[in-house]
A and B are shown apart, each in its own frame.
Chain A
Amino acid sequence: MPLRRRLRWLTPYLFLIPGGLWLIVFFVAPMIVMASVSLQEGSLATGYRLTWNFAVYGQVINEYLPQFWRSGIYALSVTLLALLFGYPMAYTIAFRGGRAKNILLLLVILPFFTAFIIRTLSWKLILADNGFVLGTLKSFGLLDQGFHVLASPIAVISGLTYNFLPFMVLPVYVALEKIDPHLVEAANDLYASRLQAFLRVTLPLSMPGIFAGSLLVFIPAVGDFINADILGSRDTTMIGNVIQRLFLNTNAYPEASALGFVVMTVVLVLVAIYARVVGARELTVG
């Protein structure tokens, strides 16, 4: 009897062990290593030594401020675009999908069956200056010969939006799916127009989905370097590209780690503010 009671008390903690261990090994430990590396000084030949060199943080923020801003602006644009395209998609699937619902959902996640990089590379072929699309338009004289989409901010933002769109559609769909259609009917019975019913019933009830979706899109978009690397140019360098180059090309491990931490901190702060303003209320109500 006492043993049983003790076990019951322990159960939630036992359930926490696998997840907790996972986080410690794959999140906490790398974070600590990264923190340590960011504060080291040295060279490849002599090795790196921990010197508590906090100055590196100020230095990298100063040096890479333009790329920080650019990443933030790109990620914000991507989130808004994903919402703009994703919400109507999710709405249609949830309320008008009928029997095709599952197939439509499958179509949304179908791109994930192909590797991220392959999908991005295939855009590079599709949008090549003299490729299938632009080449055809150019041969009809509809576009200037020098016109190009690749190697521009538009290409990078479009690529990011394309790649992360499902992360917006799915949570919004889940939120919309849960809404009882009778609520909308009730609003209509109470003389709400369809627009009013949407704005005052459906939209507020789908806020948890929008909240989750925008985080799922914004956070990976800020740190992404694949799209800027493949579809962009020098002038679309994002903070992820800077970190990647510092790590792999220059072997400047301390600077790269420090930048990683700065990005993480900034994102955490932004998410906290966002959660305060939009999310917390909705999540606690939900």
Chain B
Amino acid sequence: MNSRPLSSRTLAVAALFVLVAVAGCGIAAQSPTPVTTPTAPPVATGTPGASGSPAASGTPSATATATAVPTPVPTLAGQVIFGNWPYYIDVDEDTGANPTLDQFTAQTGIDVTYLEVIGDNSQFFGTIQPDLAAGHPTGYDLIAPSDWMVARLIRLGYLQPLDKSQLPNWQANAQPALRDPWYDPGNVYSIPWQAGIVGIGYNEKLTGRPITSFDDLLDPAFAGRSGLFSEMIDTMSLTLLSLGVKPEDATPQDVQLAHDKLLAAAETGQFRDFYDNSYYDALAVGDLAITMAWSGDISQMQLYDNPDVKFIIPDTGGLLFVDNMVMPNGAAHPTDAYRFMDYWYTLEAAVPLTEYIGYFSPVVGVQEQVRLDAAAERAAGHPRYADKLDQVAADSFPTAEQLANVFDYKNLTEDEERIWNDLFNDVLNG
């Protein structure tokens, strides 16, 4: 190798080239400025009880109000692509199939590509945001973001308003308590998939005592065996509640105090890690004694993986979360997606789903039907399965007592989000 040193002129030319390219890139990057505020006002669309024929006709629906941007309704494409969270669908333990999805395909001829891709709202947002900002399709027809993320997606104009005339079952069967939510007034862009509570899950064999409060997560007796969520808004909001502050009233000083509280504990090695959905396995195998948890996960864990785990709402309060079905911009199969969304608001889909996954169902009548199924199983001589179903029925919608002690998230502005994130990252990065 006898490479000559680069002449200074070559270097200068190269530097100039890079500079120009970088500048050009900046211009290119800002040209597809993310969509400004969506034009659809939160006007309730569709008349209640609109004739229920699930418009397969393929004609664009005219029931949407004139100002809302009606999603054109093309003909069925025969497929739908749904990006959801793990452990959020029924599974046939023998075949590995998803009975409710197969039933949908049998009824409609629509193939479902069901992808378990969301482990954490923020991370998933990070993967689709560049496409949405550039106006490219994400590859999904439907995704299942949580409430506060729906609010962010709406704010950025990344979602398509829903044509309610395409969702007759939703209109007829949606739980009143989950209609017209804080994150999407009038359900303009979203309808619930499932809901649950962010609280605390623990393994009583490992903790050796019942758990009641958030501060038990910080108990030195559980040092190195306590877990928190890596999802900033969950962990910060639950910590704020432990300080006696409702998330929606939180001031920057409150958030700073929450940060101080978490950091002090983290620096003593209190937390094993900050988890996304992977906390499930860590708690099930006993690496964690106590952790922040989603209510439905713990119901599932009790039934299928570890009977010693329990779920509680901390005495200072838990968080009510609602995961939703929304249609991102560029969805390729909207008509199929409407059929799919509406399918979940029938009892034949919602009941088996709830009986398997154990979250709060947004569908009226599910709880009653699960109770009936339990009675039928008992009559058929399956008392253990009947007991499980009774447990599921009890868990399938929050009691008035539970609802009294759960709170909503704060609808953060982007500046607030940045402040909260910076403080939380300071806790996260050891």
Contacts and interface: CB of A to CB of B under 8 A. Distances in A.
B44 to A, nearest CB: 26
Interface string A41-56: 0111111111000000
A122 interface: no
B217 to A, nearest CB: 14
Given A125-B285, A233-B273, A237-B428, A48 B30 contact: yes
Nearest to A233: B273
Interface of B: 1, 18, 21-23, 25-27, 29-30, 33-34, 120, 122-123, 125-127, 129, 133, 155-156, 224-225, 230, 232, 266, 269, 271-274, 285-287, 414, 418, 421-422, 425, 427-430
B122 A151 contact: no
B271 A249 contact: no
B287 A32 contact: no
A248 B127 contact: yes
A214 interface: no
Contact of A233 (B133, B272, B286, B421): B272
A50 B26 CA distance: 5
B414 A36 contact: no
A237 B429 CA distance: 6
Given A44-B133, A234-B428, A237-B430, A251 B126 contact: yes
A83 B428 CA distance: 32
A177 interface: no
A17 to B, nearest CB: 19
A43 B412 CA distance: 14
A43 B126 contact: no
A37, A234, A241 interface centre (most CB from chain B within 10 Å): A234
Given A233-B271, A250-B425, A36 B26 contact: yes
Given A45-B414, A130-B285, A234 B224 contact: no
Contacts of A32: 18, 21-22, 25
B29 A44 contact: no
A187 interface: no
A251 B287 contact: no
Interface in A222-249: 232-237, 241-242, 245-249
A186 B125 CA distance: 65
A282 interface: no
B285 A67 contact: no
A250 B26 contact: no
A151 B278 CA distance: 14
A115 interface: no
A91 to B, nearest CB: 29
B30 A49 contact: yes
Nearest to A127: B287
Given A234-B428, A250-B425, A39 B126 contact: no
B17 to A, nearest CB: 9
8 contacts: A32-B21, A45-B155, A47-B133, A67-B429, A146-B224, A151-B273, A248-B127, A284-B1
B414 A39 contact: no
A150 B287 CA distance: 9
B155 A248 contact: no
Given A248-B123, A250-B425, A128 B286 contact: yes
A250 B27 CA distance: 23
Contacts of A234: 266, 271, 273-274, 427-430
Contact of A39 (B26, B273, B286): B26
A74 to B, nearest CB: 13
Given A44-B133, A47-B33, A251-B129, A36 B25 contact: yes
- Smallest CB-CB A-B distances: 4 pairs: A50-B26, A248-B126, A36-B25, A235-B430
